[in-house]
Structure 1
Amino acid sequence: MIVGIDLGTTYSAIAYMDKEGNPQIIINSEGGRTTPSVVMFEDDGTVVVGEIAKESSIISGANVVEFIKNEMGNPKYRFRCSNGKEYTPEEISAFILKKLKNDAESFLGAEVNKAVITVPAYFNDAQRKATQDAGVLAGFEVLKIINEPTAAAIAYGMENRLDDCHILVYDLGGGTFDATIVYYSRNNIIVKATDGIRRLGGHFFDQEIVNFVVQEFNKKHNIDLYDYKYVDILQELNKKAEDCKIHLNARKETFIPISCHGARDRIRITRDQFNSLIKNLYERTERIVLNTLKDAKLTWDDIDKILLVGGASRTTYIRERLRELSGIEPSAEINPDEAVAMGAAIQAYMMDKASESVDLERNQVIDVCSHGIGIITLDALTNRHVNTVIIERNTQLPARASRKFYTSEEDQEIIKLQVTEGETEEVEYVNIIGTFEIEIPRGLSKGSEVEIEVVVDENQIVHVYTRILSIQDFFKEIHINRKSNLNSKEIVKKKDLISRTAVM
């Protein structure tokens, strides 16, 4: 069986296509349609994922890890358990994926071995590769990594027969935000522009509530709940803050009970106070939305609908501010928590050889390059190294572009290529995704023309072609494999270990 997976910061979901060709969410072993992205390591070696792990964080915090998505692609991060064992972000995400895989196999009564997994649109090359590696460690053949807003657009496009229509996907999840503008034609879903922010979402709304409650409690009782000795109370407060956020969508006020060191209180928080707390966070998303409109060369008059995706997009304040900004009533026609997984399942279904004969309403998804791709060059005027972007961010895929450069020395023997990902000229702010040395024929004079062509394919894999224009037959092709924090031996070893680990 083949599935689509939304590997979320706070919650994850998995979906499949039924016999009628409709996407369906898979119910987990606890009866839920989403699974908390929380992992707990037991002393006996068992790994617990989901609601039980989340609830246990209050009493077993040292062995519980949350929000691991924020560390994907970080080669230095390790989660250390109380027994001294350490785990990489890829391994922790793999345990979440294995839990989803186990639940899917129980639900469907069949082996589940292929998946399309989603990531935020802003994820860079290293983060995408880390996600792919996590899927492999969990026992999946990862068919494709696709952007979350694109997946949501696929799901919405299947639900609705749209033609000549622009939609803004406002994707505010537990820990990430993406804005994407999609154009629907009769047969295609075309991404026009996308942008996003890491570390912004519903979890950060919760933290604003926590800060408010801690300050109010301290004012009344002179007790600082941020003191380490109250860590258990603070962890419990985090859970209450999430409930408070949800309650304030339906109520004008709510109360959070706190008991600490003999002091008991019910801290009142109103919807207006909550709105004030998250105002700056919302406005960061608004700037991204406006930049995305600008990149797509569109105005609000061109947008037919705003599609809300991600659990935090349910927030009443978000809907109100978006309506004020755009003049458009935001829509949650598809479940914000499930749209991404269902879109990934549709994409997986479209890629599966067994379903080639199935006629889906939309037969092609055209995405964009999430980041600029370029090379580091020497600026002859300033004599400093700069990043030269060859393919701009939000260029439609597949993308192809070339630039001419010049050899810097007489009789130069080697061209050193550092291929980058990023939009700025400043070298320190871009990611180097590949470094190569190309031997060139001797005898070239200084200033000989070298053409560098960059191609980014539909899977956002980068290919670089080098030509020396004065030498007819000189042509070099470089295929850039995504950088992995794990080598092939480590992947085999860790995959075997995870396959033998009981995940509940």
Structure 2
Amino acid sequence: MSWQLSVDFGTTYTVAAVSTGDGPPEVLEIDGYNRMPSLVMLHPEGRLLAGRAAVNEAGRYPERVERTPKRYVGVTEHLPLGGEMVPVTDAVAAVLERVVVEARRRHNGTFPERLALTHPARWTEGPLECLKAAAVAAGLPAAYMVPEPVAAALAYTEVHLSHGDHVAVYDLGGGTFDTAVLRRERQGFVVAAAPGGNPHLGGEVFDERLLNLLGRQLAEVDGARWEALSAPPDRRWARAHADFLTQVRTAKEQLSDRVDATLYVSAYDRDLLVTREEFESLIRVDLAGSVAELLRTVRSAGRAPEDLAAVYLTGGSSRIPLAAGLVHEHLRQMPATRGDPKSVVALGAIRALTPARADTPPPPASSVNGTVHSGPRPVVLPPMPNFLVPAIISTILCCVPTGVVAIVHAAQVRGKQSAGDIAGAQDSLKKAKAWTWASVGLGVLVALFYLVAMLSDPYQY
């Protein structure tokens, strides 16, 4: 029987989902878990390991490990592992291949009929081609590329959404944070405005905050031992360091369900207690900034929070209770979430492969790797406003020097957006507006000065 596969290749974890025939999609268990570390390792024998196999060897060869290979996609062609430069495509392919091996094992060795790969909505042609090439290297068929916020919305969607409704997606993952506003169409969703986010915010940042807190406590007990644990001088301490990081991450995840967590530090042979209140105090500023970015994204789509039909939470770190609480507080509606928000994107991507109802016409064809498939319509981000016309008008009518600066920044907006630098485009737009208003202000001041001078001595003029 034919089957379908979707893969959400995440910064710190990868999740896959499968569906067979007309059956409902389900998360694929890999090595007994519903998510697999995206970590890759170059074994001394030259083999690339991924997932739990790589995790098991990471303590022995920490210099040969990359925990977040996704960060390199579209940024550089190679990543360093143990003094060797490994093609990024090969590293990503190793992660996808581990997923494929497990998925095929459960389907009598057959390959999936259809494949969906998810990706950040801000990715442009470079990183998308890298991900497609990795899928081909892993032996997978040509893939349907599904933006992560679209997949998340598809996973949450029920019949209560109407054509034209807008939803917001708050995606707080292990290594990155993304926001998007989507508009409901007859056959799915389209991105309503340029997505936002922070490529440097996620669970890893929170891990570091918690690690530093606990590290200060351990340093007070034995400073020399903490120095060895935090900067391992040999493989024995490297293993202890890896164990400690695992304990920190486990404690962080437990605090989403409990008010406190205890972790055992083997290097000290002692337990440490951390409370949810302590943890939330460490990350409150980060989460407040993430909600502010979500609000900015909503407003950039020409919407107010009360215009949204729903707010969807996805990404492993969105399980943190404070995240949902702050979203509820500032957007004034309860966000939708699931017990395992990390699986949301993979499950939604499966829905993108086939129509939800038998009487729904199939989605229009799209071309992937030169092959035409009936699949989801490609999502094209609408151009950002660049404030160029007001900048030109202020230059002509108000103040030339400041107006020229405004024009320069306004002209950079679309180019940066096309290159995938959304943060840079937003910064240029902000500067274009600031210099335009500065030009207008100077023009008004000069006009007022001239008017006052003329009224004080009308015969001189």
On whether the aligned pair clears a TM of 0.5, the verdict is yes
Residue 252 (1) aligns with residue 262 (2): no
Provide the residue aligned with 1:369 in structure 2: 381
Residue 146 (1) aligns with residue 158 (2): no
In the alignment, the residues of structure 1 paired with residue 420 and residue 347 of structure 2 have an alpha-carbon distance, to the nearest angstrom, of 30
The CA deviation string for residues 268-295 of structure 1, in whole angstroms up to 9 with x for no partner, is 2111110011112212311220111111
Residues 117-128 of structure 1 aligned to structure 2 (within 5 Å): 117-128=117-128
Residue 277 (1) aligns with residue 282 (2): yes
Provide the residue aligned with 2:102 in structure 1: 103
| Residues 10 and 38 in structure 2, CA contact (< 8 A), matched pair in contact too | yes
Structure 1 22/227 Cα, relative in aligned 2: closer, same or farther at 3 Å?
closer
Structure 1 42/425 Cα, relative in aligned 2: closer, same or farther at 3 Å?
closer
In the alignment, the residues of structure 1 paired with residue 414 and residue 10 of structure 2 have an alpha-carbon distance, to the nearest angstrom, of 29
Task: Give 1:147's aligned amino acid.
Answer: P
Structure 1 57/339 Cα, relative in aligned 2: closer, same or farther at 3 Å?
same
Provide the residue aligned with 1:135 in structure 2: 135
Residues 88-487 of structure 1 aligned to structure 2 (within 5 Å): 88-109=87-108, 110-112=110-112, 114-157=114-157, 159-164=158-163, 165-185=165-185, 187-193=187-193, 194-223=195-224, 224=227, 225-229=229-233, 230-260=237-267, 263-333=268-338, 335-349=340-354, 358-360=358-360, 367-369=379-381, 388=411, 420-422=419-421
Q: Bigger shift: 141-150 or 183-192? A: 183-192
Structure with more strand by fraction: 1
TM-score, length basis structure 1 = 0.69
The CA deviation string for residues 137-185 of structure 1, in whole angstroms up to 9 with x for no partner, is 222233332211111112222x545215432211111111111222335
Residues 57-76 of structure 1 aligned to structure 2 (within 5 Å): 57-75=58-76
The CA deviation string for residues 32-85 of structure 1, in whole angstroms up to 9 with x for no partner, is 22221122333444443222322432233233321111111122642223xx54
Count of paired positions: 391
**Of 13, 16, 27, which aligns to 1:14?**
16
The 3-state SS of whatever aligns with 2:33 is coil
In the alignment, the residues of structure 2 paired with residue 274 and residue 324 of structure 1 have an alpha-carbon distance, to the nearest angstrom, of 20
Q: Bigger shift: 189-198 or 93-102? A: 189-198
The 3-state SS of whatever aligns with 2:181 is strand
Gaps of 5+ in 2: 364-375, 387-391, 430-461
In the alignment, the residues of structure 2 paired with residue 124 and residue 373 of structure 1 have an alpha-carbon distance, to the nearest angstrom, of 19
TM superposition shift of 1:359: 4.0
| Residues 371 and 423 in structure 1, CA contact (< 8 A), matched pair in contact too | no
TM-score, length basis structure 2 = 0.74
Structure 1 425/368 Cα, relative in aligned 2: closer, same or farther at 3 Å?
same
Q: Bigger shift: 84-93 or 296-305? A: 84-93
The CA deviation string for residues 429-463 of structure 1, in whole angstroms up to 9 with x for no partner, is 99xxxxxxxxxxxxxxxxxxxxxxxxxxxxxxxxx
In the alignment, the residues of structure 1 paired with residue 174 and residue 297 of structure 2 have an alpha-carbon distance, to the nearest angstrom, of 21
The CA deviation string for residues 79-124 of structure 1, in whole angstroms up to 9 with x for no partner, is 223xx54312221111001111111111122123752211122334
Task: Give 1:346's aligned amino acid.
Answer: R
The 3-state SS of whatever aligns with 1:256 is strand
Gaps of 5+ in 1: 395-418, 431-504
In the alignment, the residues of structure 1 paired with residue 55 and residue 123 of structure 2 have an alpha-carbon distance, to the nearest angstrom, of 25
Structure 1 114/122 Cα, relative in aligned 2: closer, same or farther at 3 Å?
same
In the alignment, the residues of structure 1 paired with residue 384 and residue 272 of structure 2 have an alpha-carbon distance, to the nearest angstrom, of 47
Provide the residue aligned with 1:5 in structure 2: 7
Residues 74-93 of structure 1 aligned to structure 2 (within 5 Å): 74-75=75-76, 77-81=78-82, 85-93=84-92
Provide the residue aligned with 1:27 in structure 2: 29
The 3-state SS of whatever aligns with 1:337 is helix
Provide the residue aligned with 1:499 in structure 2: none
The 3-state SS of whatever aligns with 1:170 is strand
TM superposition shift of 1:306: 1.9
Provide the residue aligned with 1:37 in structure 2: 38
| Residues 4 and 346 in structure 1, CA contact (< 8 A), matched pair in contact too | no
Structure with more helix by fraction: 2
In the alignment, the residues of structure 2 paired with residue 425 and residue 248 of structure 1 have an alpha-carbon distance, to the nearest angstrom, of 35
Task: Give 2:39's aligned amino acid.
Answer: V
The CA deviation string for residues 359-397 of structure 1, in whole angstroms up to 9 with x for no partner, is 4599576744177699xxxx9986997773686999xxx
Identity %: 23
